[in-house]
Amino acid sequence: MPYSGKRILQIAHNHPSFHPGGTELTALALHRQALAEGIDSWYLGALDSRQITPNLGSQTIALSADHRESALFTDNFIRFSLEQPEHLGFLREFADYLLAVKPDIIHFHHLLMFGLEAVHTARRMLPEARLVLTAHDFYLICANNGQLYKHDKKERCPGPTLRECAKCFPDAAANDLAMRKQDIAMTLRLFDRIAVPSHLLKSKLETYIDLPAPAEFVENAYLGDDTAVAAPKRKSGEPVVFAYFGNISAIKGLSDLLDAADILNARGRTDFRIHVHGAQLFRDDVLKDRMEAARESLGAAVRFFGGYEGAHAAALMADVDCVVFPSLWWENAPLVVYEALHYGRQVIAYPHGGAPEILARYDAGLVAERSTPEAMADQMERVLDDPGLAKLFPSRQIPDRRHLLAGYSRLYENRSSGGQPAFA
């Protein structure tokens, strides 16, 4: 297929083939949707040697037959300062890649792995290119995995302060924290536009870091390509099935869902089932033990299905009444919520983070009164008492990858998103 228009380069800190995170999936969906619409698009990710052995003599590897999907290797990235120190390796090959591809628009979806230095490299090598950044999490203001979450206390952090950041990084001097903030703020001035997928994230960034201009809201979307397909409704009279979808980690809140199920069990409720779809990408013995304990306490009421491919989501959703989203951190624009709404499944969520914002936009969802397993169990029990609450009647169309590309195309063309969903 001949491609036309301005050449777009999507950059993410990994590739879904190796790490199917929301940021990588969004960047790849934009790339592939652009190609489907005849737009000249390229994708560049980053990998390390733990994921695949790099080629001899090069830090670049092609990930598609046409080389439009590629990745660069790096093993020395410094997460705290978002620093890429490999000037004669990673950054040199990144510069060579830019000169070879010559994109008109460079869309960074994260600064992890590439580092602040990559933004300066892009601006220096292609001064006429339009640079766009999407902040998919809080890494610009939080060095603790970009989550604004105190893992030791299991508490959400309202926002970075010198005192609170020093607790998470006791070995970091005050100057280290101050310079991190200053270096990021200076680098952000090189971007033509900065976008965010939620108003929650927009508010946090504009409060805690000096942005060169207000961040543009571009809503996330359902990223699958089955835009006209919805999972069939389940038969009535069966136990209500609550499901968890997504990568399994402590901060994603699976333990809270299992605790809520135990609470329902203690209340004498036996008319429900829990389906868990997802894989542990990183070892967590505590969470593994919690899952084993759930098998004992809940028995046949809980099933762990393991990881799944996006292409199988429709069939898995067909066996589900409600998707439960118990994430513990300020997850600002979770893709699983869009996935559930696309397939006509009601969502039960905690009141913090971006999920309530999405659900309110579509007049959908059951939001717990508090971010506790007890409050989650209360919402689940409401559905058990009135299964009609599981029926979904969104007030507007759920956006898909076409709308996502349309929203970003406005920024690529130097037009404002208007702060509205892409299809509005």
pLDDT at position 291 over 80: yes
In a domain, 419, yes or no: no
Give the percent of the chain with pLDDT over 90.
83
pLDDT for 58 equals 85
Tell me, yes or no, whether 31 and 118 share the same domain. yes
User: Can you tell me the distance from the alpha carbon of 24 to that of 10, in angstroms, rounded to the nearest whole number?
Assistant: 10
For residue 185, what are the contacts with CB-CB under 8 A and spacing of at least 6?
209, 210, 211
Q: Considering only CA atoms, which of 266, 373, 271 is closest in space to residue 328?
A: 373
Tell me, yes or no, whether 104 and 211 share the same domain. yes
pLDDT for 50 equals 85
Lowest mean pLDDT among 56-65, 129-138, 214-223: 56-65
Average pLDDT, the chain: 93
- DSSP-based three-state secondary structure for 240: strand
Q: What is the pLDDT of residues 173-191, one digit of tens each?
A: 999 999 999 999 999 999 9
* Mean pLDDT of the region 189-208: 97
User: Can you tell me the distance from the alpha carbon of 113 to that of 23, in angstroms, rounded to the nearest whole number?
Assistant: 13
Tell me, yes or no, whether 214 and 322 share the same domain. no
In a domain, 285, yes or no: yes
Tell me, yes or no, whether 333 and 254 share the same domain. yes
Q: What is the pLDDT of residues 22-50, one digit of tens each?
A: 999 999 999 999 999 999 999 999 999 88
Tell me, yes or no, whether 18 and 58 share the same domain. yes
Tell me, yes or no, whether 24 and 43 share the same domain. yes
Tell me, yes or no, whether 213 and 250 share the same domain. no
pLDDT at position 117 over 50: yes
In a domain, 232, yes or no: no
Domain that holds residue 30: 4-224+400-412
Q: What is the pLDDT of residues 316-351, one digit of tens each?
A: 999 999 999 999 999 999 999 999 999 999 999 999
Token code pair at residue 81: 């300062």
pLDDT at position 119 over 70: yes
pLDDT for 423 equals 45
Q: Considering only CA atoms, which of 198, 87, 62, 202 is closest in space to residue 140?
A: 202
Tell me, yes or no, whether 258 and 119 share the same domain. no
Q: What is the pLDDT of residues 365-380, one digit of tens each?
A: 999 999 999 999 999 9
* Mean pLDDT of the region 207-223: 96
Overall residue count recorded for the chain in this entry: 424
Tell me, yes or no, whether 65 and 174 share the same domain. yes
In a domain, 102, yes or no: yes
In a domain, 185, yes or no: yes
In a domain, 86, yes or no: yes
Residue 363's CATH number: 3.40.50.2000
In a domain, 229, yes or no: no
* Mean pLDDT of the region 133-138: 97
Please list the residues that pair with 366 across neighbouring strands. 348
User: Can you tell me the distance from the alpha carbon of 66 to that of 320, in angstroms, rounded to the nearest whole number?
Assistant: 39
Tell me, yes or no, whether 308 and 375 share the same domain. yes
Q: Cα angle vertex 142, ends 204, 407, to 5°?
A: 50
Q: Is 219 exposed, middle or buried (0-12, 13-18, 19+ CB in 10 A)?
A: buried
Tell me, yes or no, whether 380 and 408 share the same domain. no
Tell me, yes or no, whether 219 and 294 share the same domain. no
Residue 56: what are its φ and ψ, rounded to 5°? -70, 135
In a domain, 235, yes or no: no
Whole-model pTM: value is 0.94
What is the tally of structural domains in the chain? 2
User: Can you tell me the distance from the alpha carbon of 136 to that of 25, in angstroms, rounded to the nearest whole number?
Assistant: 11
User: Can you tell me the distance from the alpha carbon of 321 to that of 354, in angstroms, rounded to the nearest whole number?
Assistant: 22
